[in-house]
């Protein structure tokens, strides 16, 4: 029961998959979206309303990793970037930046995550009244 990371194309310690979506950019282009690849228009901001439930379709980038038999897959939903378990402050920089699991795709621009807007409590709803799902490919055994 320990987390395994892999060599990624942009960072040496990356999880199986990554995906991001700012909830206010959840508007979909239904014609361009695919079941495993939602297409967000990013043409208007739709702020969340406290107490209201909104559906979010979040793409997890494709990967070439096949989990070995006996491994478990976990899904983490967080309001911040992924940080690999072995990261230590002060590690070597690449092109002036420290890569801790998401490569250059950090969400760390000053003022980009204002606490007064994005610092609230987030509730994930699941169950019969609020079905949630994760689409995964099935790779047949060889």
* pLDDT tens, position by position, 56-92: 999 988 888 888 888 999 888 888 888 887 777 766 6
Instruction: Determine, yes or no, domain membership for 43.
Output: no
Instruction: Determine, yes or no, domain membership for 36.
Output: no
Instruction: Determine, yes or no, domain membership for 41.
Output: no
- Is the distance from CB of 63 to CB of 137 less than 8 angstroms? no
The mean of the pLDDT values for the chain is 84
Confidence (pLDDT) at 34: 92
Count of structural domains within the chain: 1
| Residue where the block lists tokens 């739709």 | 46
Instruction: Determine, yes or no, domain membership for 90.
Output: yes
Instruction: Determine, yes or no, domain membership for 127.
Output: yes
Q: Which domain holds residue 81?
A: 1-19+60-135
Whole-model pTM above 0.85?
A: no
Instruction: Determine, yes or no, domain membership for 42.
Output: no
């Amino acid at each position: 029961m320990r987390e395994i990371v892999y060599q990624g194309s942009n960072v040496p310690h990356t999880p199986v998959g990554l995906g991001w979506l700012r909830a206010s950019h959840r508007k979909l282009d239904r014609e361009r979206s695919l079941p495993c690849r939602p297409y967000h228009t990013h043409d208007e901001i739709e702020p969340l309303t406290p107490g209201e439930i909104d559906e979010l379709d979040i793409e997890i980038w494709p990967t070439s990793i096949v989990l070995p038999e006996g491994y478990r897959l976990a899904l983490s939903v967080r309001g911040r970037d992924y940080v690999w378990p072995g990261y230590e402050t002060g590690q070597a920089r690449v092109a002036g930046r420290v890569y801790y699991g998401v490569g250059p795709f950090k969400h760390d621009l000053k003022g980009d995550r204002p606490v007064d807007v994005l610092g609230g409590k987030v509730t994930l709803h699941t169950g019969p009244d609020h079905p949630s799902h994760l689409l995964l490919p099935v790779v047949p055994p060889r």
